[in-house]
Amino acid sequence: MITDAQVEAWLREDVGHHDVTNDVPGETTGRLVAKESGVVAGLDAARAVFEYLGVTVTDAAGEGDRVEVGDTVLAVEGTARHVLRGERVAVNVAGHASGVATKTRAAVTAARGVDPDVAVAATRKTTPGLRGIEKRAVAAGGGDTHRLDLSHMVMVKDNHVAEMGLETAVEQFREKLSFATKVEVEVEAPESAPRAADAGADVVLLDNMTPGETERAVDLLAARAADLGREVLAEASGGITVETVPDYAATGVDVISLGSLTHSAASLDYSFRTG
């Protein structure tokens, strides 16, 4: 949810001390227009900006819609002063979110072309203050949001293992968990995947492995999970790109996660036109 305080901070940052160009009389209309094809996201934030300023949003595309060059994704009407005050913030936030959604859709399409059941997820590598917008953009692109914050799942990473040992870390963290919280353990070698399952992992993160190493880890983990009589999911992560997603989808992993969906997505090019 976008709060008034968040919108006010965005607007204050953009306007600065004094903006003489914002003093425009009369009423006007405006349209947010796509200058390139992509997937729409972030319109809830753009709408919040305009509505905070008393500008009426008269039409908007749906989150996750595919748009082409020249398509209008948002239309507004109100005082020229307030339409112009809000337009750059609205364009920036919608463009950023739509870029995330567009990159996510490309990764999902690439992965599902190989394995229709594999999930493509984001990570916590989000922009401070914009996590909600970026995570919703991932969902609009057809991806999985993964953890929204640290409380949503315990992830035992390499630093925890180095400090405490794998089994001790899992045991100590599990003692403090709700029954509904899953435990994920990060491993860096295929042979460590069964060990993580033995320690009680619900999900094993196969970190920075090649597709060949990932496939071996998936096979070892599946065999161990069968022995344990429970499901243990396999997640591939680390250095994976949209171009290499199909290679990882072919390994049999359940989830492929990419930090680049949020931290490296190019903004979708939008233009705001008045009158």
Give the active site residues. 88, 125, 157, 186, 207
Contact by Cβ (8 Å): 111, 67:
no
Spell out the long-range contacts of 202-205 with Cβ–Cβ below 8 A and sequence spacing 24 or more. Answer: 202/232, 202/233, 203/153, 203/232, 203/233, 203/234, 203/235, 203/255, 204/232, 204/233, 204/234, 204/235, 205/155, 205/235, 205/236, 205/237, 205/257
Beta bridge partners of 234: 204
In the numeric block, the tokens 């390139």 are attached to: 36
Report the interhelical angle of 80-112 vs 43-52 (nearest 10°): 170
Contact by Cβ (8 Å): 35, 271:
yes
Cα dihedral across residues 139, 93, 109, 68: positive or negative: positive
Q: Tell me what percent of the chain is helix, strand and coil, each rounded to the nearest 5.
A: 45, 20, 35
